[in-house]
Structure formats: structure tokens, C-alpha cells
Amino acid sequence: MPRQILEGIRILELGQLIAGPFAAKTLADFGAEIIKIEPPGQGDPLRKWRMLHEGTSVWWEAQSRSKQSVCVDLRQPEGQELVRKLAAQADVLIENFRPGAMEKWGLSWEALHALNPRLIMLRVSGYGQTGTKRDEPGFAAIGEAMAGLRYLTGEPGRPPVRAGLSLGDTIAGLHGAMGVLLALYDRDARGGQGQMIDTALYESVFNLSESLLPEYSVFGAVRQPAGGALPGIAPSNAYPCADGEYVLIAGNGDGIFVRLMRRMGRDDLAEDPGLARNDGRAQRAAELDEAIGAWTRTLDSGAVLAALREADVPAGPIYNARDIAQDPHYRARGMIQEVTSAKGLTVEMPGIVPKLSAHPGAIRHRAPTLGEHTDAVLRGVGLDDEALRTLRGKGVIA
């Protein structure tokens, strides 16, 4: 296996469920050593989320790949001391508890920074470590709503819908991972020290909101739900086909629009000077959608996609999980990886993103069983067999 770019970086993950653990998973894919702290008993609640195989979530197998599991009760003083010992040897600590929880346990940024000035601490929360809402609980759905995303999803005149994925969590996790990399660069390449990274779910989603706020600030415009369309950019929508399927067509580039119209046999629209640029097309988006839909309804989805591929017009089907698993492009790109779980189950999961030419990432080992690495990791910070037995007897570790 090629040398991993984050090889030698030790990360202590105290987070649960999605946001913090997703950040750690992303860094693990590129070689970081992840020591995941889980509460004794059930461990990370994600172990029981969604569909289970022999009592363990298959989502867990994907999110916790290449991690080590150490069971420590953070509510007990001895458990908090163990975290301090581990943090003293760590490069990064990741947590996504509600603000104030780490302080309650004596594990504040100030305390850990004094203990290990080189430590980088990623803190992911619903609303951030400061501000008027810092103490409120915040999950992905709430962050997506506050960031304006939920208002835009769904069909006009109907209640908003969610995307079907916890986008707020994973987007925050990606921003958090980026923050960790920036802090590592500052520390290791610029001679800096460790620093604290404050990542909020709502801010991470808001960062992706494109022209939403600029348009309101200049024009007072409040963007509205638009179903499958992309308001102000035309034509771009989902169009029905003769076989009952929908295809996505993005004909919004100037040259692309002309090729699309000619392939549809609508030279009149291709040559219309009022449609030569996006601002003109946006004003006539409904007319263009009607024309494209009239054409797609005459053909099966496969024929539509073949015709647009030949015309060099961006278009694609709407995939479900089965479509993804059967698509040869995913496999050609290494985007479907197989990992065998501790119970012998083969699980397919997303591959490594992004793809680095010199130091490509890798899934180094399966997700851990609960507490699988407790003894080995704690021996590394000086605990002997007697100390481990004592702590286990008190329920501090498992």
C-alpha cells in the first residue's frame, strides 16, 4: 500500500452519530489513525441506526472503517482522566456534543490546549460555540432549515421535504475535516500551534447557498421552491419520458442549448436571439420546459439519453441504490469498495474521495467491534493489566 498522506496523525474521536464521525472517517481514508471513544454498553448510537445485520448497522460498517474502538465512560472522573491522557498524545480531537458538555467533563479547549499546545480540536455543533442559539440542541434537519435549504426543497405550493440524507451533518463533517487540514498545515508547515475549529451545522449548509443571500440583499428577492428546476438558470429540469421515467437535462450553457434545440428539431428556438444567453432563457423557462417535455414524452428514457449523448448535451438518469450498484462507471472509478465485517458480512460502501495521484487513500481495515481496541490503546498511555482490571470493574472502561 502506498504511503498515506496523513500517516502518523493521531485523531481522538469523541463524537457520535454523523457529523464528527464523518469528519474522522474522511481523515481516516487518507491514513490518519482514529481512536474512537464510545460509551460502554451500546457504544455509538449509529451502531443501531437504519438497517441492522445481526444487531449491527451496516451504515456503521461504512462510517467507522479504519477506526479503533475504545470504550470509556466520559461521565466518570477516571474516564475523563483517560481522555486527557489520550489527548496529550493526540494531534487532533474531534467532538460533536452540545456546547458545554466538554467543559462539564473538564475537557474544555482551554484545558486541553494547556495540556497539549499542539492539539487541534474540532468542535461540531448545531449552532456553534458562541451566539444566541449556542445552547440549543441542533440536528441536521434543523440546521438545513435554518440555513434556508429546507425552504427551497419540494414543489411550489407544497410543504418542504427533506433530501432523504442527513446533509447538514455530512456537509459539516466535510467543513470540519477541511478545518483540521488547514490547522495541521499551519502547525506543521508554518510553525504554529494547535487551534480550535468551531464548525456549525447551519453555517456549513449556509456556505453552500450560492446566490440566496446576495439576491435578497440587492433585490429583496426571496427564492422560492421550484421542484426539479433551477430558478434563474434555464433550461435545467427533470423531464418525463414515454416509459414513465424521468431524465435530468442541463441545457443551460449557451452552446449546449443550441445543440439541445437542434437535436429536438427546434431550430426556431436554437436560432432565436432572445434565447442566446441565460438571462433571456430564464425569462422563458416555462416555455422551454414545455418544449423539452413535449419531445422527451415521445421517447423512452434510454432513447432520450442516447440522443443527448450523441448531441453532447449533459443529461442523466435518476439513480436509486440498485442503479448505483450496477453502474460500471462507479466500479471503474473505485467508488464501490467491499469490506468484510467482523461477522464475515461483505458490505459494499462508497470509495475514497477525493482521488490523489501520489498518495491515494485507502480503507485499511473493517469497522471495529465495541471496545475492540480498549486494552491495546490504553496500554499505550501507560496503563498496566491491574489498572485495566480496576477500571473495568468500576465500569469506567469496557
Residue 228 CA to residue 236 CA, distance in Å, equals 8
pLDDT computed for residue 230 by the predictor: 85
Amino acid letter for position 23 = A
The grid coordinates of residue 1 equal: 500500500
As a whole number of angstroms, the distance between CA 363 and CA 348 comes to 12
CA dihedral 165, 314, 299, 247 (to 10 degrees): 10
Residue 126 DSSP one-character state? S
Supply the pLDDT for residue 154.
Answer: 87
Q: Choose among 193, 9, 207: nearest CA to 94.
A: 9
Residue type present at position 385: D
pTM, rounded to two decimals: 0.93
Give pLDDT, residue 49. Answer: 96
**In whole angstroms, what is the distance from residue 251 CA to residue 307 CA?**
13
CB-CB contact of 67 with 36 (8 Å) = yes
Residue 284, pLDDT score: 96
Give the helix/strand (H/E) hosting 90: none
Q: Fill in the DSSP letter of residue 2.
A: P
Q: What are the cell numbers at 105?
A: 467533563
Q: Is 254 left (phi over 0), alpha (psi -120 to 50) or beta?
A: alpha
Supply the Cα-derived Rg of the chain in whole angstroms. Answer: 25
Give pLDDT tens digits along the chain (398 positions). 678 999 999 999 998 999 999 999 999 999 999 999 999 998 999 999 999 999 999 999 999 999 999 999 999 999 999 999 999 999 999 999 999 999 999 999 999 999 999 999 999 999 999 999 999 988 899 999 999 999 999 889 998 888 889 999 999 999 999 999 999 999 999 999 999 999 999 999 999 999 999 999 999 999 999 888 888 999 999 999 999 999 999 999 999 999 999 999 999 999 999 999 999 999 999 999 999 999 999 999 999 999 999 999 999 999 999 999 999 999 999 999 999 999 999 999 999 999 999 999 999 999 999 999 999 999 999 999 999 999 999 999 99
- Closest alpha carbon to 76 in 109, 37, 124, 18: 37
pLDDT value for 231? 87
CA pair distance 166, 18, nearest whole angstrom: 8
* Distance of alpha carbon 145 from alpha carbon 166, whole angstroms: 12
| Helix-helix angle 19-28:167-189, to 10 degrees | 50
Helix, coil or strand: residue 182: helix
Secondary structure letter of residue 269 according to DSSP: H
- DSSP codes, 278-308: HHHHHHTHHHHHHHHHHHHTTS-HHHHHHHH
CA dihedral 377, 379, 383, 385 (to 10 degrees): 120
**Half-sphere exposure at residue 54, Cβ-oriented, CA atoms within 13 angstroms:** 7
Q: What contacts 193, CB < 8 A, 6 or more positions away?
A: 117, 118, 187
Active site residue 169: yes
- Cell numbers linked to 255: 452552446
93 φ, ψ (degrees, to nearest 5): -125, 130
Catalytic residue among 44, 73, 91, 169, which? 169
